[in-house]
């Protein structure tokens, strides 16, 4: 029996959670979350994790099971999610994956090339070079050490430059040696569904959700994390803005407005990511019957193949 992963992608606040829970119940299935922030134990309100009642109705995986103090990235997620899928496919033919982190979804669907971990000292050295000598210094190194990556990547983007340089320093080999970008075949089928709706509707939902987060105690949640504000997982919309407020840089009202604006921008970037995938089918979040029909048709097609 061919196993199938159904991926429900969509921008933040569009209604992925409730839609996927309903689907997973109808198909008697389970849900794998592909969300780079809901995965952290310490972050709940600001990442809009599903409510306890929702989590009870259908088994969820990768919700709040890692600490912000752990090293975690898209590659860790790929391996854990694949292992979990293998386990779940022993009892289910159909598993749902939903979340807003495009890179996490791609990691599971297509895979990320295997690469060595970077030692913290090397990472710090590369960041220090960027800070002290600017991105030009990193560009110079890459130009000589890794002309392939240098010509392919966005050399204005410090994050890309640091990555290339630290990989070279760590291994003595160019980053492009590891970065093959070869999609890895999976032993399960993938059905991709993406959600979108009118922009003003989405913006309204985002604004409401942010107000709800504040009402649920976002400020207190962020206050408790204040000493960790420089950790990467906390470089997150909803947290950075409240840190700014707690640090006296903005008023609370300003911080809340900034969260709304930055969440709108985040939603736009997510959509941009999901549009890259040309095999996905697009639906509005309220088109439940059409979505179900699409899934049933896709499964039936697979069976006849």
Partner RNA sequence: GGUGCCAUAGCUCAGUUGGUAGAGCACAGGACUGAAAAUCCUGGUGUCCCUGGUUCGAUCCCGGGUGGCACCA
**Which residues of this protein are in contact with RNA, per CB under 7 A?**
12, 35-38, 46-48, 72-76, 100-104, 110-118, 127, 154, 156-160, 162-163, 179-183, 199, 203, 232-233, 235-238, 261-266, 268-273, 275-276
SS3 189: strand
Beta-carbon contacts of residue 231 (< 8 Å; ≥ 6 apart) = 68, 69
> Helices 288-304 & 16-26, crossing angle to 10 degrees?
50
- Give the span between the Cα atoms of 252 and 46, in whole angstroms: 15
Residue 23 Cβ vs RNA, minimum distance, rounded to whole Å: 20
CB of 92 or CB of 277, closer to RNA: 277
Rounded to the nearest whole angstrom, what is the least distance from the CB of residue 5 to RNA in the complex?
19
CB of residue 90 to RNA, shortest distance in Å: 27
In which residue are the tokens 């990556």 written? 149
Strand ranges for 171-284 from DSSP E: 189-195, 281-283
Least distance (Å) between residue 82 CB and RNA: 14
Q: Backbone phi, then psi, for 78, in 5-degree steps?
A: -55, -50
Of residues 226 and 269, the one with the C-beta less far from RNA = 269
* Nearest to RNA of 23, 112 (CB atom): 112
CB of 178 to RNA, least distance (A): 7
Question: For residues 41 and 114, which CB has a smaller minimum distance to RNA in the complex?
Answer: 114
Beta-carbon contacts of 9 under 8 Å, excluding residues fewer than 6 positions away, are 16, 98, 99, 100, 102, 105, 192, 193, 194, 195, 270, 274, 277, 280
Residue 274, CA atoms < 13 Å, CB-side half-sphere: 25
């Amino acid at each position: 029996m061919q196993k199938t992963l159904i991926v429900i992608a969509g921008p933040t606040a569009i209604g992925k959670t409730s839609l996927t829970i309903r689907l997973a119940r109808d198909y008697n299935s389970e849900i794998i979350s592909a969300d780079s922030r809901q995965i952290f134990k310490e972050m709940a309100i600001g990442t809009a994790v599903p409510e306890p009642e929702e989590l009870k109705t259908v088994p969820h995986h990768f919700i709040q099971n890692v600490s912000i103090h752990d090293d975690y990235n898209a590659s860790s997620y790929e391996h854990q999610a694949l292992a979990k899928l293998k386990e779940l496919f022993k009892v289910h033919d159909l598993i749902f994956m939903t979340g807003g982190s495009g890179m996490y979804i791609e990691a599971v669907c297509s895979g990320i090339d295997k690469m060595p971990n970077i030692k913290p000292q090397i990472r710090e050295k590369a960041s220090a070079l960027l800070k002290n000598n600017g991105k030009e210094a990193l560009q110079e190194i890459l130009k000589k050490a890794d002309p392939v990556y240098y010509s392919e990547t966005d050399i204005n983007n410090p994050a890309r430059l640091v990555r290339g340089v630290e990989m070279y320093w760590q291994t003595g080999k160019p980053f492009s040696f590891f970065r093959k970008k070869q999609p890895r075949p999976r032993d399960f089928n993938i059905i991709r569904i993406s959600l979108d709706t009118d922009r003003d509707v989405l913006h309204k939902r985002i604004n409401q959700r942010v107000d709800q987060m504040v009402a649920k105690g976002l400020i207190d949640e962020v206050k408790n994390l204040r000493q960790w504000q420089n950790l990467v997982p906390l470089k997150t919309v909803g947290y950075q803005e409240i840190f700014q407020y707690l640090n006296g840089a903005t008023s609370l009202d300003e911080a809340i407005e900034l969260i709304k604006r930055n969440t709108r921008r985040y939603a736009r970037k997510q959509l941009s990511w999901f549009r890259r995938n040309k095999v996905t089918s697009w639906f509005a979040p309220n088109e439940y019957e059409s979505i179900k029909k699409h899934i049933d048709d896709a499964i039936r097609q697979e069976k006849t193949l």
